[in-house]
Amino acid sequence: MERPDWAPQGIDLSRPSVSRIYDFYLGGSHNFEVDREAGRKAIVAFPGLPKIMQANRAFMRRAVRHAASQGVTQFLDIGSGIPTFGNVHEVAQEADPDSRVVYVDNDPVAVAHSRAVLEGNTNAAVLAADFRAPQDILNSPEVRKQLDLDKPVALLLVALLHFIQNSEEPAKTIEAFHQALPSGSFLVLTHASTDGGPRTSEEGARIQDVYRNASSQLVMRSRSEVEALFGGFTVEEPGIVAMPNWRPDGPVDNDDPVIFTGFAGVGRKA
């Protein structure tokens, strides 16, 4: 397979990547045929995925604006993926030009493209690291330079935790971040689920099968399991809800039920 100019050396072009599949759902161009093939299979197994991803991005932007309205000017986006229009730094720096953002991802394509997008933006950085190693993130030069961990930080785990297995103890890792961040910090989270939505558990099982050969396997969790991930963060109103229902900017379009698949929530450290 021919390697595009933007593709870093050393990546496996034969194995689909969850961040590049996500880029495909959003209509991006930083993906390979192996990613597009997996994405097409996932859409057949779980119809409406691109619209779900768009709802996910829209929630993220509303949550960033909410944190900014509470005076937060520091954002740590883990599992940030490949930048598309309306990314965290754009939303945060529109609210306050002095806002600082650190993107974290373990996909070399996401990291390389993020660095290109952020070139010249001195208030934003990208770090090649993994959610499962919180101290590597918190002690990194990028975080130490950009973020003051004595002041509130919005921690974004958007469309990430459903790629972390139960055996990897995601709640324990979130607690490590909770301990490291000061009072007034936020946790912004979305998670795949068939609980309470229009998609069946059988459809959920089929999309899990599609992701079995990807860079990370997909885990569906129930609403109560998603709520448990907030740990020491106090969940803000309206609670753990379908993504379009979290503080919508206007009337919610109920015509397409697929966008009510999965959960979103924002927690705050007292």
Set out the domains of the chain in order of their start, with CATH numbers: 49-198+219-268 (3.40.50.150)
Least confident of 5-14, 36-45, 171-180: 5-14
- Over 90: is that where the pLDDT of 2 sits? no
Confidence category of residue 156, pLDDT binned at 50, 70, 90: very high
DSSP 3-state percent helix, strand, coil across the chain (nearest 5): 45, 15, 45
- Over 90: is that where the pLDDT of 55 sits? yes
Among all chains, which residue has been given the structure tokens 């045929």?
Answer: 33
- The model's pTM is 0.91
- Over 80: is that where the pLDDT of 5 sits? no
Q: Pick the more confident residue, 6 or 27.
A: 27
- Over 60: is that where the pLDDT of 1 sits? no
Q: Are 20 and 37 in contact (CB under 8 A)?
A: no
pLDDT in tens, 58-88: 999 999 999 999 999 999 999 999 887 789 9
Q: Are 117 and 82 in contact (CB under 8 A)?
A: no
Per-residue confidence (pLDDT) for residue 131, from 0 to 100: 98
- Over 80: is that where the pLDDT of 3 sits? no
State the amino acid at position 244 in one-letter form.
Answer: P
- Over 60: is that where the pLDDT of 252 sits? yes
| 10: its two tokens | 């050393």
Q: Within 10 Å of residue 54's Cβ, how many Cβ atoms?
A: 15
Q: Are 71 and 152 in contact (CB under 8 A)?
A: yes
Q: Return all residues near 175 (Cβ < 8 A) that are at least 6 apart.
A: 231, 232
Q: Pick the more confident residue, 8 or 111.
A: 111
100 forms beta bridges with 74
Per-residue confidence (pLDDT) for residue 40, from 0 to 100: 95
- Over 70: is that where the pLDDT of 7 sits? no
pLDDT in tens, 209-231: 888 878 789 999 999 999 999 99
pLDDT averaged over the chain?
A: 92
Q: Are 137 and 127 in contact (CB under 8 A)?
A: yes
- Over 90: is that where the pLDDT of 136 sits? yes
How far apart, in Å, are the Cα atoms of 32 and each of 78, 109, 251? 23, 11, 37
- Over 70: is that where the pLDDT of 41 sits? yes
How far apart, in Å, are the Cα atoms of 84 and each of 22, 54, 172, 178, 255? 11, 11, 30, 28, 26
Q: Are 6 and 113 in contact (CB under 8 A)?
A: yes
Least confident of 13-27, 101-115, 226-240: 13-27
Per-residue confidence (pLDDT) for residue 240, from 0 to 100: 97
Per-residue confidence (pLDDT) for residue 26, from 0 to 100: 87
Q: Return all residues near 63 (Cβ < 8 A) that are at least 6 apart.
A: 154, 156, 186, 188, 246, 264, 266
Omega before 4 within 30 of 0, i.e. cis: no
